[in-house]
Amino acid sequence: MLSYRHAFHAGNHADVLKHYVLARMLGYLNQKDKPYWYIDTHAGAGCYQLDSDYAAKNAEYATGIARLWQRQDLPAGFADYVQLLRDLNPDGKLKFYPGSPLVARSLLRPADKLRLFELHPTDFPLLEANMANAGRQALAQKGDGFAGLKAMLPPPPRRALVLIDPPYEDKQDYQRVVSALEDSLKRFPTGVYALWYPILQRPEPHQMVNRLKTLPVKSWLHASLNVHRPRDDGFGMHGSGLFILNPPWMLHDELKTTLPWLCNTLALDEGASFQLDQLAG
DSSP assignment letter at 218: S
Give CA–CA dist 162/264, Å, rounded. Answer: 29
DSSP assignment letter at 110: T
Alpha-carbon torsion (66, 16, 108, 165), positive or negative: negative
> What are the DSSP calls for 161-196, one per residue?
EEEE-----STHHHHHHHHHHHHHHHH-TT-EEEEE
User: H or E segment at 116?
Assistant: strand 113-118
Q: Among 53, 165, 232, 233, which one carries the catalytic annotation?
A: 165
Per DSSP, the three-state class of 209 is helix
Give CA–CA dist 65/16, Å, rounded. Answer: 6
The reply to whether 165 belongs to the active site is yes
Residue of 86, 87, 118, 120 whose CA lies nearest to 101:
118
Give CA–CA dist 144/99, Å, rounded. Answer: 18
Q: Is the separation of the CB atoms in 191 and 38 below 8 Å?
A: no
Residue type, 72: Q
Q: Can you list the alpha helix ranges (DSSP code H) found in the chain?
A: 13-29, 53-58, 79-88, 100-107, 123-130, 145-152, 172-187, 203-212, 251-266
Rounded to 5 degrees, what are φ and ψ at 162?
-110, 125
Residue type, 141: Q
Query: Could you give the residue numbers annotated as active site?
Result: 165
